[in-house]
Amino acid sequence: MAPDWREQAAASAAGDEQGEAVTPDPYEVLGVAPDAQMDEITKAYRRIMQKVHPDVANFSGWFARVASAAYRTIRQQRGEP
């Protein structure tokens, strides 16, 4: 899990100076390098979801949604199905 996810959550919830939501870097959210292989990215995503999924952990679900969006974004950028 990204070490500063709580700060990212607060920034995203507050929005930036123009009042728009801040979009976090998907690689930073998943805690992987931009040049990481897809299997490494998938493992990082699954590891995070095991910790923060609302059905498993006592979290609000916000970070699970952010992690899912980050994973989806990376897959789309790389042309993965």
Q: Full-prediction pTM beyond 0.85?
A: no
CATH of the domain at 54: 1.10.287.110
| Tens-place pLDDT, residues 21-75 | 667 899 999 999 999 999 999 999 999 999 988 888 777 788 899 999 999 999 9
Q: By residue range, what is the domain housing residue 14?
A: 5-77
How far apart are alpha carbons 32 and 16 in whole angstroms?
24
The type of residue at 49 is M
Domain count, the chain: 1
How far apart are alpha carbons 67 and 65 in whole angstroms?
5
Pick from 40, 9, 11: which is nearest to 27 by CA? 40
